Structure 1
Amino acid sequence: MEKLKEYIYHLLGQKIELKKLSDNILNKLPFLFRNSYEFYSTRISNHELIFLVLDKEDTFNPQQLRKQLEIIRNVFNKPVVVIAEDITTVNRKRLIDYKISFISPGKQMFLTELLVDFQDFNKKEDFRKNIKLLPSAQLIVLYHILHREDDLSKYTFKELADKFQYTQMGITKAVNDLKRMGLIDVIGTKEKSIVFENDVPKLWKQAEDLFVDPILKAVYIDKKPEKLLRSNTTALEEYTDMNPGLQDCFAIERNRFYQLKKEKQFTNLNEENGTYALEVWKYNPEIIAKGITKKNNVDPLSLYLSLKDGFIDERTDMALDQIIKKYIW
């Protein structure tokens, strides 16, 4: 149960206490339920919940469980959440279709009864930080969306690490992050690979609130390094009807930025003004943009994510809508 507590804390920023229900309370239930499941009470966001813990996934089927949960809810008069270590993709979909709340620790959380409260959590800074994707995980999702012809399920973890320029430990963290958010399944035993569960429109809808701004920070320089991709409003003209902005802006991956800074390769590096604006990115923009841009720009979806939460005028807002319509829907 510690894994369950840690998972809830990681996603929701809340430490919970689990109290096993006493026999006196459980005696209200039919013997079949008392013998098949473990029951705990807890509280999340001022809501009392009952956790129904399954020993093995093959001890239930969603349709049968749905009927049993109706009885259990009527007895306790509280929302019931199914806790299962492993749930197949098929059964996960059925649980969601039946609007059955469940938690698979480290993999996915679906709490239909508390949907409104979970939306309210988005107003809290600490909660928003807890549910964002790792930049490396985001890189994989955006690459998958824009390079649909390149089937990532054909790559082993080692090949993914080479492809996306991460260590094997780094790519494993990214994959675990995607799996935890319910965006992928991991298949295979000795040589594992990833499979995205949804088509692009559904995947985007599922992941959009999890994406991070790719920009770590912005600085200014008077002379730029070679082979940088254009970014910000400078890059909008390739993907939309909008003309480029007045300030030339470029993107650079953060490790390269700090290496060049260490080597004192920047002219008049500062945070206020300069000939060029330089965005320091959390992941390498060249990996996604290759094969997408024809004008040395960052990719359209990272561009969208870098602009959507900033101060933008009506023309820029319309341009961002064009990107989504063109590359997602």
Structure 2
Amino acid sequence: MNDNITDDTVLKSCYSSPLMNPELHRVEQYLPGLASYIETVLGDIPSFSAWEQTSSLPYYLNNTYCLLQMTLLGQTCLVLMENPQRSVSLPDVKKHMDTLRKLTQMPMLFVTATLASYERKRLIEKGIQFIVPGNQLFIPELGLDLREYFRARQETVEFISPATQAMLIHLLMNDWKHSLQLSQATLGQHFTYSKMTISRAVKELKGLGLIALGADRQQQIEIRTSARQLWQNARKHMRSPLKKSLWLNAVPLLDGNPLLLAGESALAQQTLLSEPRLPVYACSSETLSALLLQASDFLSEVAAEDAACELQIWTYDPCVYASVVPYVDPFSLILSLQDSKDERIQIGLSQLEGDLKW
């Protein structure tokens, strides 16, 4: 999941009131699933934060819900996440929302694990926004008509997601000459992505005309161009994997092994570009967390002038491509440096792309 979803401080804030039932801690396990469902349906990752007025609420509200602020599609609403051990009646949900509206003008969203069909109908009739993760979403107060949203989204897709880009690059690393057929399972077999993420990648690639679906429309994918042509067609829809850079006081090792070289260091390994002053490495956010666990006593972020290396944090794992070389794949490297104003780097990128073995 994305780092923006939530963190421990938000959850601790939800449970900070001494009156709150400890069973509400069970709500924590539902937040990732809620965020994943919203991202899958709407293509936007929600962010959660504690609601500052929670501690002043009556006991019955704090005991019935975990109350959070959620930002989604540029708008903020108040989430009433039902305590899984304290089921609430639909009339009470309406009364509770009326009480909360005296404190805030934010739209409100009721989140529950299950709803019967007749209950969903009643909530819709009363205009109460709700989400049943993995099942149904009704959020008209956010100004969203799902049919119109999906229609507009399909028409205006410009960039593929990081997960889709990672899967596409993995295909490009396994060159083919004219055309290619594969299954959805094959597309995602080298990754730990969920079936939903793989399915969304297929939709993105098909929507941009980069792939076609086979006769069964569900399992078979067809790429009707060479790998070189696919790269040329897809490149304008791909972005740099670089999320941020850190300057570290020591060169990081993961389980005793060095990370892959990236940036100018990787380009210098493959072209005539001179080595940069400091080595540049790359890893994913998950790998960074593992590094900090292993080496928290001596590995720290410092000013650039005092650093031993630069560590790039990528939106996908640069190590997913099985290779004997100590640097990141050429496609991600090109994308990560393509906006550089340094003429030397642009010359190196041209050489690197020209040396690709199609």
Q: TM-score, normalised by structure 1?
A: 0.55
Matched, 1:9 2:40: no
Matched, 1:245 2:272: no
1:281 aligned residue: 314
Distance 1:191 1:174, change over 3 A: closer
Q: Deviations over 1:248-269 (max 9, x none)?
A: 1101012222344466636122
Distance 1:283 1:8, change over 3 A: same
1:72 aligned residue: none
**How far 1:233 sits from its partner (Å)?**
0.7
Contact 1:11 1:131 in 2 (8 A): no
Matched, 1:322 2:355: no
Q: Deviations over 1:284-305 (max 9, x none)?
A: 11123xxx75431001111111
Distance 1:152 1:222, change over 3 A: farther
**How far 1:311 sits from its partner (Å)?**
3.3
Contact 2:179 2:226 in 1 (8 A): no
- 2: CA distance between counterparts of 1:141 and 1:134? 10
1:219 aligned residue: 246
Contact 2:260 2:281 in 1 (8 A): yes
- 2: CA distance between counterparts of 1:161 and 1:200? 18
2:335 aligned residue: 305
Counterparts of 1:18-97 in structure 2, within 5 Å, are: none
Matched, 1:231 2:262: yes
Code of the aligned partner of 1:196: I
Distance 1:152 1:238, change over 3 A: farther
* Unpaired stretches in structure 1, ≥5 consecutive residues: 14-129
- 2: CA distance between counterparts of 1:323 and 1:144? 18
**How far 1:202 sits from its partner (Å)?**
2.4
- 1: CA distance between counterparts of 2:236 and 2:265? 25
2:208 aligned residue: 181
Counterparts of 1:106-145 in structure 2, within 5 Å, are: 130-145=157-172
Contact 1:219 1:271 in 2 (8 A): no
2:299 aligned residue: 267
SS of the residue aligned with 1:171? helix
Distance 1:270 1:152, change over 3 A: farther
**How far 1:182 sits from its partner (Å)?**
1.0
Distance 1:172 1:270, change over 3 A: farther
- Greater CA deviation, 319-328 or 148-157? 148-157
Contact 1:218 1:271 in 2 (8 A): no
Pairing partner for 2:222 from 195, 201, 205: 195
Pairing partner for 1:296 from 315, 326, 330: 326
Provide the alpha-carbon RMSD of the alignment: 3.2
- Greater CA deviation, 292-301 or 167-176? 292-301
Contact 1:239 1:300 in 2 (8 A): no
SS of the residue aligned with 1:208? helix
Code of the aligned partner of 1:325: G
**How far 1:271 sits from its partner (Å)?**
6.5
* Unpaired stretches in structure 2, ≥5 consecutive residues: 1-144
- 2: CA distance between counterparts of 1:168 and 1:271? 41
Contact 2:180 2:224 in 1 (8 A): no
- 1: CA distance between counterparts of 2:199 and 2:263? 30
Contact 2:261 2:328 in 1 (8 A): yes
Distance 1:162 1:225, change over 3 A: same
SS of the residue aligned with 1:162? coil
- 2: CA distance between counterparts of 1:197 and 1:217? 35
Q: Deviations over 1:18-63 (max 9, x none)?
A: xxxxxxxxxxxxxxxxxxxxxxxxxxxxxxxxxxxxxxxxxxxxxx
Percent of matched pairs sharing the same residue: 22
Q: TM-score, normalised by structure 2?
A: 0.51
- 1: CA distance between counterparts of 2:257 and 2:226? 37
